[in-house]
Amino acid sequence: MKKRSKISVFASIIALLAMIAISSPSASAQNLLNNPESVVYDSLHDRYLVSNFGDGSIVAIASDGTQSYFDTTLTRIAGILNKRDTLFVASNDSPYIGLVAYSLQTDDMLFFLPIPSVGLLNDLDYDNQGYIYISDYWDDKLWRVDMNAMSCTLFVDPLQAPNGVICDTLNNRLLVISVVPGTRPIVAVDFTNGSTSVVVYTYGYAGDGLAWDDQGRLYTSEWSTNSCHRYDTSFTHPPETVSSGHDGPADIYINRRDNILCVPNFYRHDVDFVDLNQSSADDITIPQNYYSLSNYPNPFNAGTTIKYSLESEGPVSIQVFDLMGRRIETLVNTMQNAGGHCIIWNADRYSSGTYFYRIKAGEYSETRKMMLVK
C-alpha cells in the first residue's frame, strides 16, 4: 500500500506540472495543449489551430482564448499547414501514416494520402504549383506530394536531419533547416531537380521552425536557446534575436494580418503570441527563470541530450522515471559549477513509451516529459 501511495503522489505531481495555462491573447480556463508542435491561423473562423504531438489532437483557439478540439481522430501528428482553406497534417501513426487533409469550411476530413516507409514526418509547405513538400526528420528524406495526381514521391534522399521547411517561390526553391550538429545549415532545394545548396550556416540560430514576414525576412526557432531569430533578406548579416524565454519552440508561424509571431512551446504545453510591431527585441522578450531545462530530440528513438543551466555552484541530481513513477536511472548526482551543462540519456534498453526526467539543484526542482519511440 505504501508503494502505491508514492506512485500515486508522483503521478499527481506530473499531472499538475503538465497543466500549465496557455499564454494566449486572452486567458483560457481549459488548456488542451499537449506537446504542441505546429500552429496556423484560420481566417475563416478567426481562430488558431494547433497540432498536439503528445496526443495527436488538433486544438482550436478562439479569439477570446477559449480552446476546443478541432479533431481527435489522429494519434501522432507534427506539422500542419493552412492552404486555400484546407488544413494539411503530417500524420505519423496507424492507420493514418501520411498526409491528411481537412476542410476548414466544414471541419471534415477530406482525404488521406499514405506515405510509405517513413520515420517521422515533420514539417510541410505548399509551393503554389500543386506540390506539397514534407520533411522526414528521422529518415533523412524529403517527400513531394503532387496534389493534382494525388501521388507521393521521394524527392531528396538523403537530406540530413531535415526539420522545418518553407517555400521560397521567388527563388524557385524550398528552404530546409538541416539539424547537422554544430553548423545547422539552412539548405536550399531546387524545385526543378531537387539539387541542394547551403544558404547559410546558422550555428545555433536555427533548429526547428521557419516563417516569413511580410517584408521577406526569414524567422527561425531554436530550442537549445529557447529563442527565435530573424535573418535579413540577403542572409548577409548575423541574425537578430526577436524573442526569447520560450520552452522548446517548435514550428513557428507568422500571422501577417496582425504581425504576430506564434511560437508553440513543446515542453510548456502552451503557445506564445509575440507582437512583432514592438520597437525592439527587448520589448518582446518573454520572462523566464534563470534555471533552464530541455532535451532534444523529443520524441527520440535511441538517445536524447538533456541540457540545463545553473544559477550557481551546488549539488545537482537528474533522475529518469517511467510512466508509473518508478526511478529507472540517475544520470547526474554530483556538485556542478554555474552555467550550461548537458548529459546524454541512452535509452537503447528501454521500450517505447513516455518517460519523465527531474532535475534538483538547490531549491530548484523541475520535471519534464519525454517520449521514446522505436
| CATH assignment at residue 305 | 2.60.40.1930
Q: For residues 247 and 308, what is the distance between their CA atoms, to the nearest angstrom?
A: 12
Cβ–Cβ under 8 Å, residues 357 and 326: no
Q: For residues 342 and 181, what is the distance between their CA atoms, to the nearest angstrom?
A: 14
Q: For residues 247 and 224, what is the distance between their CA atoms, to the nearest angstrom?
A: 9
> Same domain, yes or no, for 144 and 189?
yes
> Same domain, yes or no, for 275 and 312?
no
> Same domain, yes or no, for 19 and 157?
yes
**Residue range of the domain that includes 354:** 292-372
> Same domain, yes or no, for 242 and 130?
yes
Cβ–Cβ under 8 Å, residues 252 and 209: yes
pLDDT score at 310: 80
Only one residue has cell 520560450, namely 246
The secondary structure of residue 206, as a DSSP letter, is -
> Same domain, yes or no, for 129 and 276?
yes
pLDDT score at 278: 65
Q: For residues 290 and 315, what is the distance between their CA atoms, to the nearest angstrom?
A: 17
> Same domain, yes or no, for 352 and 252?
no
- Residue among 56, 64, 19, 15 nearest 36 (CA): 56
- Residue among 222, 214, 218 nearest 200 (CA): 218
Mean pLDDT of each 10-residue bin along the chain, 374 residues long: 38 40 44 96 95 97 91 97 96 96 96 93 95 97 97 97 96 96 94 96 91 95 92 92 92 93 94 77 42 76 82 89 88 86 88 89 82 85
Q: For residues 211 and 261, what is the distance between their CA atoms, to the nearest angstrom?
A: 9
> Same domain, yes or no, for 216 and 350?
no
Residue at a domain's end among 284, 306, 328: 284
Cβ–Cβ under 8 Å, residues 197 and 159: no
Only one residue has cell 519511440, namely 373
pLDDT score at 16: 40
The secondary structure of residue 325, as a DSSP letter, is S
- Residue among 66, 20, 61, 21 nearest 40 (CA): 61
> Same domain, yes or no, for 184 and 115?
yes
pLDDT score at 116: 85
Q: Report the run of H or E that residue 324 belongs to, with start and end.
A: none
Only one residue has cell 529557447, namely 226
96-103 and 353-361 strand pairing = unpaired
Q: For residues 86 and 44, what is the distance between their CA atoms, to the nearest angstrom?
A: 11
φ, ψ of residue 3 in degrees (nearest 5):
-65, -45
C-alpha cell at 46: 478567426
Q: For residues 36 and 246, what is the distance between their CA atoms, to the nearest angstrom?
A: 13
For 87-90, which contacts have Cβ atoms below 8 Å and span 24 or more sequence positions?
A: 87/40, 87/42, 87/49, 87/58, 88/124, 88/126, 88/132, 89/51, 89/58, 90/121, 90/122, 90/123, 90/124, 90/134
pLDDT score at 292: 64
CATH code of the domain covering residue 15:
2.120.10.30
Cβ–Cβ under 8 Å, residues 317 and 330: yes
Q: For residues 153 and 181, what is the distance between their CA atoms, to the nearest angstrom?
A: 28
Residue at a domain's end among 226, 258, 284: 284
Please give the C-alpha separations between residue 217 and each of 40, 64, 177, 293, in angstroms, as whole numbers. Answer: 18, 29, 15, 30
Chain length of the chain: 374
> Same domain, yes or no, for 29 and 134?
yes
pLDDT score at 43: 93
> Same domain, yes or no, for 67 and 165?
yes
C-alpha cell at 85: 482553406
C-alpha cell at 53: 504531438
> Same domain, yes or no, for 366 and 343?
yes
> Same domain, yes or no, for 151 and 91?
yes
Query: Domain count of the chain?
Result: 2
Q: CA neighbours within 13 Å on the CB side: how many for 338?
A: 4
Residue at a domain's end among 223, 249, 284: 284
The burial of 24, by beta-carbon neighbours within 10 Å (0-12 exposed, 13-18 middle, 19 or more buried), is given as buried
